[in-house]
Structure 1
């Protein structure tokens, strides 16, 4: 029963608990809870206890079909992504002349790129090589530093579906990759946050990317080169991780730039990322204005 950010028509964004085909407005059912996901995670066990007490008969129920879902974490302190973290994606990158890294390679997606789970993705007028990357996103739930991999599971708040939309021509211009990964709208996430306690094994989740209904990527998170706990531990040696921080855990083979011949996204294309147990996001590509 995941945690969602929703609105009705042009109304304010509210926090809700998704139960079946309805969402329970937590501002009504549990008015003492924080009004945003990062605040909810930072509140810890008392917030979780109040959340668990909200059921299908709680006040504030609305049909999911009657609301708009938004990015669960719209303004994290950090949005980080790891490169070439599936061996098959590393192999296709090597064919493109890229070195497969020995260590974890991380880059920033600027938080201004965050987009809703069903909102349009803009094809920039300055890029001709727009691409997709289906990914599992981890959301940090506790402030932490200098963790061991064994300690890492205790700081995860939950999991989301993500699409690391990439302007490949801009990505390849510099070694940092940040600009090519950070265009406005190029970070769709959602459709909600599935809490860590509801995911039995994040290293056994099927994920796939479809473009216009055609499967382009299909893998399982068991294939991660550096697993989630290693990723969190590695980053925590460098920086303090805080509630709401987003970590995109890597994409498998099948990206457009590695196809023969390369196939890049065009206005009108529809990307759909699915992860078993976490739901899906779906975004249409539109032309820049």
Structure 2
């Protein structure tokens, strides 16, 4: 199920989504790498499906703890490192409920809110993982202007796919999931911006899956307020289509511009442009 050089996804991604949608009990043997920005993104994106993914690995790019200590102090932690460790334990406990052991979770250790500024560092790290682990499918964030780390991971996964191919590795196909974006100055959760025209698949959860998903969400205790608005019954995915990385995500309506997360549209485009030059990447990924 090799991916094509000219597109991030193809028949393999569609077959994977069809297999997930076919039956809530069926085991999917496809090798899947779930690449997420934060500890908890994996639960919202794909938590209910994890028991069915026999060959799942999770890669967590950031440790969930921003450098500025605001979040750490708000949750009663004396250091950033203590907060990061708490989030690591919560993630491990959540996915363990779905039968995923800690040996199947990788941690890249970037600080929360730093990934967009270090996207040039992230691309080759992910490329090396793709080459070494040879996943058939990579599930990751949609490029949607929601959180700077989400967009950084979405871009870096696409770039890493090409870098891995250049080194002779099999190209994974990319499947993307939405978390949040802006629409008419309001935050919209778990929807693609052009959903009606997309190949989006909304997976139906049975009672057992929904109960599992709720327990997984509850395991992320420090993130209870953050995760409360997300609908546990929604797991929405689609094959990733090429995007123009010289254009702002979500038509320029950027959720992170209304938060003190250290990124605006101009800086985002500059970081992406620098990475494209460094790695000789095409404008469309």
- Which structure has the bigger radius of gyration? 1
Q: Is TM-score (shorter-chain normalized) higher than 0.5?
A: no
The answer to which structure has the higher helix fraction is 2
TM-score, normalising length: structure 1 = 0.28
